[in-house]
Chains A and B, each alone.
Chain A
Amino acid sequence: MVISPVHYIAVPLLAAFLMPLLAKIHRELTRIVPGLVILYLGYVSVVLMNQVMAHGTIVEVIAGWNAPWGINLVYSPFTGFLASMMTAMAFVIWLYSYRFKKVDSQPALKYFILFMMLVTGTIGIVLTGDIFNFFVFLEITAISSYSLTAFYRDRDGAEAAFKYLLIGSFASAFILIAILLLYTQVGTLNMAQIAVRMHDVPTHMKITILILFLVGLGIEAEMFPLNGWAPDAYSQAPSPVGVTFAALVVKAGVYGLIRIIFTLFDVHGAYEYLIVMGAITLVMAELAAIRQKSLKRMLAYSSIGQMGVVMIAFGIGTNEAVFGAIFLMFNHAVIKGLLFMSGSYLVYNTPNKEIQYLSGYGMKMPLISLFFSLGALAIVGLPPFAGFWSKLYILIAAADNQMIGLIALILGVSIVEIVYYFRVVGRLYFGKPSKGSIMQKPTYGGVIAMSLLAIVILVVGFYPDVITPYIHNAADALLDKAQYIHSVLPNADLSQIQNLK
């Protein structure tokens, strides 16, 4: 069997259906199999990324019906980069969640099925070239997120999950209505053909559909003011799930927003909208983060703020800015992953996960505190860590477009960021140790996972060249709308297509 993009979906699905049977053979298999599946997907990623870098976009046809009649998967340098990044993060999260908490074998089985399907759903969102298929994968992601949020079955978890369920259902409904309206206008569901025919859609219809999409996907991408679910879900879900939200689910939401604005629609002003909404999201989230007493809520708000920066950078829309935005998505997945992983061990036993109890933990949990401090230094963008480069590229791109206000905003907010992260780091190392606090010993898998992420942060920080060629290609692929349409529909009429930026 030749390696092809559909393996990303078919293999985990098959494994998910098999797992209840495997659990009857041996209990441990339920924990091992997801790891093997994700490892295989990693191999698929390596093979396909090499192919894409050498020969360009791979379009895979499903059920033998060529585009635009059937469903297709598009593995371009951009989508491939995101899918590979998600697979790598999924593997690290699997290592971390292996024996994270002692649970019965039945819930463990369900946890790993839901986790694997969450990963599949997010990768499917990124890879698909069909707008309704996009919705189906969004549903897979959403349903598994809701149940994983409530996995501990406590009061707060149930509340967070219910909140998420209500808001998420709104998002689904909006996106479904948008797809319906879009279909009545263009008579097709293939994204490339929608992009070709978008030219003939009346403007008022275009705007209505775009707004419906933006609201629906804005909820998934944590755009202000649609992100009310995020802090609760991040802090109440099991820690590995919180990491998955930050590293995979939000990335898929942002990808959806970007694909809709960059490829499907040709509306002027959508880019400015992204900048404005990104800036508001950034400011509101960072101001909320500095007021938080709970460590996990603080990290959640910081995560929302970072997504604001990503939206600003995509909104600037030049090649350099998009490069910076994709780089920041990568960095955010890795660094926020490390912060969440180490942070949840720090507050494992403290009441309400509050920061004030963490005094002097730097001596008691040296390794975990070190990881957390490294993550904190990297996320605020200090050299020589990974976060520095993405921030630098975004600022340079803003400077090239004479957006001085934006530079001032991003730098100003960085100071707020530094304040609240260093408040925690300072408490870890210079606070007076309190008596009677119980330390949680991290699992071996957890330590390996965090070490891997720390190594990535340092390597990318010192040698950004290991990753920049991939990101450069990804940015080019995202911006070249005509190329995207041409690779899916070789015979399409490209005369009406123009790149707005």
Chain B
Amino acid sequence: MKKLLIILLLAVVGYFLTVSMSNIKFGANRMGDLSQPKTVGAFYLSKTPGELSVANVITAIVVNYRGFDTLGEVSVLFLAATGLGSILYKKKKKGEHIPTVNKPSSALLQAGSKLIFPAILVLGAYVFIHGHLTPGGGFQGGAIIATGFLLMMMSYKDFTMNHSVITWVESLAGITFASIGLIGLIVDHSFLENFLPIGYINDLISGGIIPLIYVAVGFKVAAELSGVLDTLLSIKEK
């Protein structure tokens, strides 16, 4: 009876969602005239190349127009890492090391990961440094770097992350983001407002504060995800 009710409820929800979704004309051009924007999407498309000198419009939306949301999302990640740390907290003895993997991995994996690890770090850094020019950005670059650390943790039994370094990187990156916002508030009377020259489009140094924020986000995401992986791997099932 209960299951029948659940199926019925799901069917009703599914029906109404399908009906409303199928009425939306996905893919059709609904932007209208870009010179007189009616929707925010059209406004962002019309303003970004000229007024911000940013080639990647999505980055401009994420970091400039809606930078406040991004600051919020960065803190969501920060909170998730902090919360995980508080729930899985274990008092460690000084100098104690909990191995991340039980069995030593094969020589092939060990040699291969040593070779590929620096390449992963460089790729991650490339993705977040060029966030305003090419697809990608701080979140993606940070996640790539964290996968590099995951690879090392899985292949080497005694690979350790220095927690103090993670804390420093994480905090300094967060402080950078928030301080850039506050400088905008002091200089231009608006939180997170651009206060640097915007330069020329497609240059590496262009877009004002956007690359700075994305580098900070990249470092923060990398440190946080690596920290989360480290916490999770150090928990042993009894």
- Which residues on A are within 8 Å of B, measured CB to CB? 1-2, 4, 6, 9-10, 13-14, 16-21, 24, 60-65, 68-71, 104, 106-107, 110-111, 113-114, 117, 124, 132-133, 136-137, 139-140, 143-144, 146-148, 150-151, 153, 177, 181, 184, 187-190, 202, 204-205, 208-209, 211
Q: Across the interface, do A62 and B89 meet the contact criterion of CB distance under 8 Å?
A: no
Determine chain B's interface SS by DSSP, over half rule.
helix
- Which residues on B are within 8 Å of A, measured CB to CB? 16-17, 19-21, 23-24, 30, 38-44, 64-69, 71-73, 75-76, 78-80, 82-87, 89, 91, 167-168, 170-172, 174-175, 177-179, 181-182, 184-186, 188-194
Report chain B residues within 8 Å CB of A18. 171, 175
Report chain B residues within 8 Å CB of A9. 68
Q: Across the interface, do B191 and A1 meet the contact criterion of CB distance under 8 Å?
A: no
Q: Across the interface, do B83 and A147 meet the contact criterion of CB distance under 8 Å?
A: yes
B192's partner among A21, A62, A204, A211 (CB-CB below 8 A) is: A62
Query: B212 to chain A: closest CB distance in Å?
Result: 14
Query: B198 to chain A: closest CB distance in Å?
Result: 13
Q: Across the interface, do B30 and A13 meet the contact criterion of CB distance under 8 Å?
A: no
Report chain A residues within 8 Å CB of B38. 187
Q: Across the interface, do B168 and A21 meet the contact criterion of CB distance under 8 Å?
A: yes
Report chain B residues within 8 Å CB of A17. 78, 170-171, 174-175, 177-178
Assembled-state Cα–Cα distance A143/B19 (Å): 32
Query: A147 to chain B: closest CB distance in Å?
Result: 3
A20's partner among B44, B75, B170, B182 (CB-CB below 8 A) is: B170
- Contact A187-B41, Cβ < 8 Å, known A147-B86, A153-B87: yes
Assembled-state Cα–Cα distance A2/B182 (Å): 12
Q: Which are the 10 A-B pairs with shortest beta-carbon distances?
A: A147-B83, A187-B39, A17-B174, A110-B86, A136-B72, A64-B193, A14-B178, A64-B190, A63-B192, A6-B191
Q: Across the interface, do A14 and B179 meet the contact criterion of CB distance under 8 Å?
A: yes
Q: How many A-B residue pairs have CB under 8 A?
A: 161
- Contact A10-B191, Cβ < 8 Å, known A71-B68, A188-B39: yes
B85's partner among A110, A133, A140, A190 (CB-CB below 8 A) is: A110
Q: Across the interface, do A139 and B83 meet the contact criterion of CB distance under 8 Å?
A: no
Assembled-state Cα–Cα distance A339/B50 (Å): 58
Report chain A residues within 8 Å CB of B21. 181
Q: Across the interface, do A136 and B69 meet the contact criterion of CB distance under 8 Å?
A: yes
A137's partner among B65, B72, B82, B192 (CB-CB below 8 A) is: B72
Q: Across the interface, do A144 and B79 meet the contact criterion of CB distance under 8 Å?
A: yes
- Which residue on chain B has the smallest CB distance to residue A17? B174
The winner among B69, B72, B82, B181 for most chain A CB atoms within 10 A is: B72
In the complex, besides A6-B185, A21-B168, 18 extra interface pairs with C-beta distance below 8 angstroms are A6-B191, A10-B191, A14-B175, A20-B171, A21-B167, A62-B67, A62-B190, A64-B188, A68-B40, A69-B44, A110-B85, A110-B89, A136-B76, A147-B86, A181-B20, A184-B24, A204-B19, A208-B17
Report chain B residues within 8 Å CB of A71. 65-66, 68-69
Q: Across the interface, do A63 and B174 meet the contact criterion of CB distance under 8 Å?
A: no
Q: Across the interface, do B184 and A63 meet the contact criterion of CB distance under 8 Å?
A: yes
Assembled-state Cα–Cα distance A323/B149 (Å): 56
Assembled-state Cα–Cα distance A18/B76 (Å): 16
The winner among B24, B79, B84 for most chain A CB atoms within 10 A is: B79
Q: Across the interface, do B39 and A139 meet the contact criterion of CB distance under 8 Å?
A: no
Assembled-state Cα–Cα distance A114/B186 (Å): 28
A114's partner among B86, B170, B190 (CB-CB below 8 A) is: B86
Q: List 25 A-B contacts (CB under 8 A).
A: A2-B189, A10-B178, A13-B174, A13-B178, A17-B170, A20-B170, A21-B168, A24-B167, A60-B191, A62-B68, A62-B190, A63-B66, A64-B184, A71-B66, A106-B85, A124-B72, A132-B69, A133-B66, A139-B73, A143-B80, A147-B79, A151-B87, A181-B21, A205-B23, A208-B17
Q: Across the interface, do A139 and B170 meet the contact criterion of CB distance under 8 Å?
A: no
Assembled-state Cα–Cα distance A399/B167 (Å): 59
- Which residue on chain B has the smallest CB distance to residue A65? B65
Assembled-state Cα–Cα distance A286/B17 (Å): 34
